[in-house]
Amino acid sequence: MSSIVSTVVNRIEIQAQQKLKELLRACFVNLDEAARAPERRVAWCTSVGPCEILTALGFDVYFPENHGALLGARKLSQHLIPRAVGVGYCAESCSYMTSDIGATLAHASPLREVYGIDGPPKPDVLVYSTNQCREVQDWMSWYGRRDGAPVLGVCPPAHLGEVTRAHIEFVRGQLRHLIEELERRFGLRMDDRRLEEVVDRSSRASALWRQVLDTAQARPSPLTFFDGVIHMAPVILMRGSTAAIDYYVTLLAELEARVRDGVAAVPDERFRVYWEGMPIWPKLRELSTKFFDLATVVAASTYCNSWAFEEYDGGDPLLWMAKTSTEIFINRDEDTKEAFLEEMFRRFSIDGVIFHNARTCPNNTNSRFGMPQRIRERLGLPALVIDGDLSDARFFSAAQTLTNIEAFVEQLEEQAR
Ligand code: SF4
């Protein structure tokens, strides 16, 4: 992620960023050491997967989606994806997955240059949750076959409207089974007290992260979506640690001071836009610069809010894990998603919405079934659909998209008159 930090235009530097770079380096060096130490074990986990169980059982946890994002931000994906296509993976399936598999086949990783480690740590076990998509299961399975490591997972019910007690109990049962499998395969014993502590820390980091994002309700906003995609790293990669909590305490204090002092992430902020869908990692700089030049702040996003979970208030930690991981936006039906978005537009005083139609991630794309039109008609909000991709730059036309964004902001101007 620190390479992502260096590629984004950040006109008024957030001071906590330096601390973030150090934290990430320590995190990756620690993972590298864990993979080399015979007495330690590394678990791979999907980004909204059951990492608290893994941490509580003593695994060091690595999140491969981060590597996919890094490959995209470094503009490497399009060169690596053909390697995955060569072993049978479709070029239009998840480009995090195909670029990551391609990188492994090519023995290439930006982790070498960024953190001085050889590459992703070799897994002892791979754990997924299909609460975000089934692709993660296939992704983990490729490494499971390659490394002879077990692939274990949780499959919550998908596309839910109301999340019922029965849904949550069903997922809780799968989490309990996962613990039993890990105990059996690795000769471990879960300490329930420790799991509660890890879940509590995970929840506290998540609550602080939500407060960080909520500072963007201020006008002018002290941060943008393009800052958010950088600073969300600890709430994903270090969930359950005190380091993540400490980091967000520091970041929140800085952003609250910015709000008090009227420090704007985008000076002379004129319009406030919502980003719906995945980031376009290879083009963050161009997009950030364009919005900055148009005095338009991308004030909120579904993506950054994906790790802002409801707080844990004690009790059964597996119930909290089952509930929060089943309730996430990507796992809900269209009506529930629209209701969530409407509330976000209101809370962040949004003037217009940008939908990213990510070619290789239909799962986290919400512009394909009429939602932008419904939002235009029902809420009277301008909505623009951008064609692109999260990691594969071949699916993105910079000239066309930047022109469309200019026209969109002109439309916001017209509307404001
Ligand atoms: S949600 Fe999309 S980007 Fe994330 S792993 Fe699944 S297909 Fe890939």
The DSSP line for 260-277 is HHT--SSTT--EEEEEES
Of 318, 396, 363, 367, the C-alpha closest to 138 is 363
pLDDT at 8: 47
Would you say 1 and 230 are in contact if contact means Cβ atoms under 8 Å apart? yes
How many CB atoms lie under 10 A from the CB of residue 416?
9
Tokens 């919502």 belong to residue: 274
**94 Cβ inside 6 Å of ligand 1:** yes
Q: Which ligand 1 atom lies nearest to the CA of residue 361?
A: 2
Distance (Å) from CA 267 to ligand 1 centroid = 34
Distance (Å) from CA 316 to ligand 1 centroid = 29
Residue 127 to residue 54: CA distance in whole angstroms: 9
**Phi then psi dihedrals of residue 57, to 5 deg:** -85, 0
**96 Cβ inside 6 Å of ligand 1:** yes
Q: Atom 2 of ligand 1 has which residue's CA nearest to it? A: 361
Distance (Å) from CA 122 to ligand 1 centroid = 21
Q: Which ligand 1 atom lies nearest to the CA of residue 93?
A: 7
**363 Cβ inside 6 Å of ligand 1:** yes
pLDDT at 12: 78
Instruction: Encode the chain (417 residues) as per-residue pLDDT tens digits.
Output: 333 444 444 477 899 999 999 999 999 999 999 999 999 999 999 999 999 999 999 999 999 999 999 999 999 999 999 999 999 999 999 999 999 999 999 999 999 999 999 999 999 999 999 999 999 999 999 999 999 999 999 999 999 999 999 999 999 999 999 999 999 999 999 999 999 999 999 999 999 999 999 999 999 999 999 999 999 999 999 999 999 999 999 999 999 999 999 999 999 999 999 999 999 999 999 999 999 999 999 999 999 999 999 999 999 999 999 999 999 999 999 999 999 999 999 999 999 999 999 999 999 999 999 999 999 999 999 999 999 999 999 999 999 999 999 999 999 999 998
Would you say 358 and 365 are in contact if contact means Cβ atoms under 8 Å apart? yes
Q: Atom 8 of ligand 1 has which residue's CA nearest to it? A: 94
**114 Cβ inside 6 Å of ligand 1:** no
Of 128, 118, 135, 132, the C-alpha closest to 54 is 128
Q: Atom 5 of ligand 1 has which residue's CA nearest to it? A: 136
Would you say 120 and 67 are in contact if contact means Cβ atoms under 8 Å apart? yes
Helix ranges (DSSP H) in 262-416 = 284-293, 302-305, 317-326, 334-347, 371-379, 398-416
**224 Cβ inside 6 Å of ligand 1:** no
**Which H or E run includes 173?**
helix 165-186
Q: Which of 77, 128, 363, 390 has the most ligand 1 atoms within 8 A of CB, as the residue to mutate?
A: 363
**131 Cβ inside 6 Å of ligand 1:** no
Residue 220 to residue 224: CA distance in whole angstroms: 10
Residue 249 to residue 369: CA distance in whole angstroms: 39
CB half-sphere exposure, 126, CA atoms < 13 A: 22
Q: At what angle do helices 135-147 and 95-105 cross, to 10 degrees?
A: 20
Kindly compute the dihedral angle of the four CA atoms of residues 303, 171, 202, 196, in this order, to the nearest 10 degrees.
170
What the block records as the tokens of 358 is 């990510």
**61 Cβ inside 6 Å of ligand 1:** no
Q: Which ligand 1 atom lies nearest to the CA of residue 95?
A: 8
pLDDT at 5: 41
Distance (Å) from CA 301 to ligand 1 centroid = 17
**133 Cβ inside 6 Å of ligand 1:** yes
Give the pTM.
Answer: 0.96
Distance (Å) from CA 417 to ligand 1 centroid = 40
